[in-house]
Structure 1
Amino acid sequence: MVPGAGMSSAASDDMRSLYPSLYDGGADFDAVLAEVTRSTVEKAHEIVALRAEMCRRNAGRIAACARALARSFEQGGRLFAFGNGGSSTDGHAIAELFTNPGPGACPLPALALTSDVAVLTALGNDVAFEVIFARQLAALGRTGDIVVGLSTSGGSADIVHALEEARRLGMVTVGFAGYDGGRMAECGAVDHLFVVPSSSVHRIQEAQTTTYQVLWELIRRELDAGTGRAESPR
């Protein structure tokens, strides 16, 4: 297919500006390959450095958070994770980590609050989008349960409202944010806050993934060092 075929002139110009090499018959593909290689290596170095910085800043706090969450699970607590867009997939990944930990490990009760499309659309349409997670916690959450809210900006209203509702209910609150932490850092409702010091959404989400993976591993170690399994949910 010829680039731009069937497109309006404006759309074709937009495509040309985004992907100039597709329209340049004399493109130097060795140069393109070299640039892709350089960019990939640069991004790999960026995330390695960012992960190291997260460890330097948060190692003690991650360990403290793991101990607190392990105690909650031992006492029958459940985990609720939530986020918007890409962060919602991280919420699902967290829930999957705890409920399907692999051979020989006891599954732990965890749920991603973006799982029920009917509930999300009903609350968003009938009440307000800002309450789509807070209302679910009001119905499902109990004192001693755990919430994990994820946001790259830290400023998502629905995430902040949910964390505030969780605090009101006496739940253990964990927040993941980027930039300077945004409203999540200001609201006073987060017991354990992990801010990725970056303005790149891609690097923020990559570092957040590493952080909650490490957190999960430490929680498993805490549980193995104690009873070895969590109690059944209350």
Structure 2
Amino acid sequence: MTEMLYPFLYAGGSGLDTLLEDVRRSTREKVEDIVRLREAVLEQYAEDLAACAARMAGAFRSGGRLFTFGNGGSSTDAQDVAALFLNPGGSARPLPALALTTDVAVVTALSNDVGFEVVFARQLAAFGRPGDIALALSTSGNSDNLIAALREAARRGMTVVGLAGYTGGQMAETPGLHHLFTVPSSSVHRVQEAQTTIYHALWELTQLELAGEAF
């Protein structure tokens, strides 16, 4: 049965060698693509990343908190962002951060009782204060619940940050957005990989802005 499903594993000889070479070539190409994309994004947004980090550092100095959110794989990335800021390890400064994707009871209650488009906006309406930070992650930039949350964050006087792919989608047209970092790729995988670089750069630059201060 296994041989029927995966005949290339039992091909032996040149057939298997060709397959393995194709896998190696594909892997090299993907690695080269993401390295180029990450470098291009960091170069394109160098000044805006520094400006965003300075704004975020100012918010943290004033007692602000970071709220992160996204859907699907981006929800996992949102949790990673919150964990990075809250528990960076080593001598880095821990900063107040919360992922709005983690409370399953809240997310499912809002989805069931009101609608999925409000799952993040309602939480920001309850917790968000002027001076806090809202950071949304999306590969398309077209998620209705993210757009609603970004609008709510802007209404509440929060620092509003978006990470998107392609050309930014609806997120690029959302009023009140202070910083938008768009990864110019149509590949969901490449977008999410590059977004990881962006938010790690934001974290490092924010830490540099806060370095040397008492906490």
The bucket for the TM-score relative to the shorter chain is over 0.9
Partner in structure 1 of residue 109 of structure 2: 122
Which residue of the partner structure matches residue 175 of structure 1? 162
Shift of 1:151: 0.2
Choose from 31, 35, 38 the match for 2:22.
35
Matched, 1:84 2:71: yes
What is the deviation of 1:228? 4.3
Could you tell me how far apart the structure 2 residues matched to 1:228 and 1:184 are? 36
1:217 pairs with 2:199: no
- Give the Cα–Cα distance (whole angstroms) in 2 for the partners of residues 32 and 26 of structure 1: 10
Q: Which letter maps to 1:63? A: A
CA separation of 1:74 and 1:224: change in aligned 2, threshold 3 A: same
- Matches for 1:1-234 after TM superposition, within 5 Å: 1-2=1-2, 22-23=6-7, 26=11, 28-225=15-212, 227-229=213-215
What amino acid sits opposite 1:140 in the alignment? F
**Amino acid aligned to 1:220:** Q
Please identify the structure whose Cα radius of gyration is greater.
1
Q: How many residues align?
A: 212
The Cα offsets for residues 174-221 of structure 1, whole Å up to 9 and x where unpaired, read as 100000000000112311100000000000000000010011000001
Aligned to 1:10: none
SS of residue matched to 1:152: coil
Q: Relative to 1, partners in 2 of residues 1:37 and 1:161: Cα closer, same or farther, differing over 3 Å?
A: same
Q: Following the alignment from structure 2 to structure 1, what is the Cα–Cα distance between the partners of residues 176 and 142?
A: 13
Report the Cα distance in structure 2 between the residues aligned to 1:29 and 1:154, rounded to whole angstroms: 41
Give, in whole Å, the separation in 2 of the partners of 1:51 and 1:162: 27
1:154 alignment partner, SS class:
coil
Distance in 2, matches of 1:95 and 1:45, equals 29
Identity %: 57
Deviations 1:157-190 (A, max 9, x none): 0011100000000000010000000000011231
* TM-score (structure 2 length as normaliser): 0.95
Taking a change above 3 Å as real, the CA distance of residues 109 and 43 of structure 1, as seen in their structure-2 partners, is: same
- Normalization by structure 1: what TM-score? 0.87
The CA deviation string for residues 120-178 of structure 1, in whole angstroms up to 9 with x for no partner, is 00000000100000000000000000010000000000011100000000000010000
Specify every segment of 5 or more residues in structure 1 that has no aligned partner in the other structure, as ranges. Answer: 5-15, 17-21, 230-234
**1:66 aligns to what SS in structure 2?**
helix
Q: How many Å separate the matches in 1 of 2:44 and 2:148?
A: 26
Q: After TM superposition, give the deviation of residue 86 of structure 1 in Å.
A: 0.5
